[in-house]
Amino acid sequence: SMRSFIPLHLTAFKRAPELLKWMKRVTKGMGMQYLKPSGWFENYHGFGNFVWAPPPAAGEVVVEQLAKSRWKRPEGLHLIVLPRLM
């Protein structure tokens, strides 16, 4: 099956580890919090700036949580890092 060749379970940071180093360098001084899946439902509620890096298979869940967060705290900055599939 063609689906076995599409890495829907891997985040952009797992597919390209140098991307995480670059993101941390670029966002230095902005107080970014890098969310892990366990923090998608709790940590984003607070004040601050967040980086979401979900695998493509979890994209819908992240969009829902991001919408709640933006509605609750519109002053926060949210960056979403998604891998390109093809």
Residue type, 64: E
pLDDT in tens, 9-44: 999 999 999 999 999 999 999 999 998 888 788 776
DSSP code per residue over 10-27: --HHHH-HHHHHHHHHHT
* Per-residue pLDDT, 28: 94
Query: Do residues 54 and 11 touch, judged by C-beta distance below 8 A?
Result: yes
Output the pTM of the full model: 0.82
Tokens representing 45? 């509620």
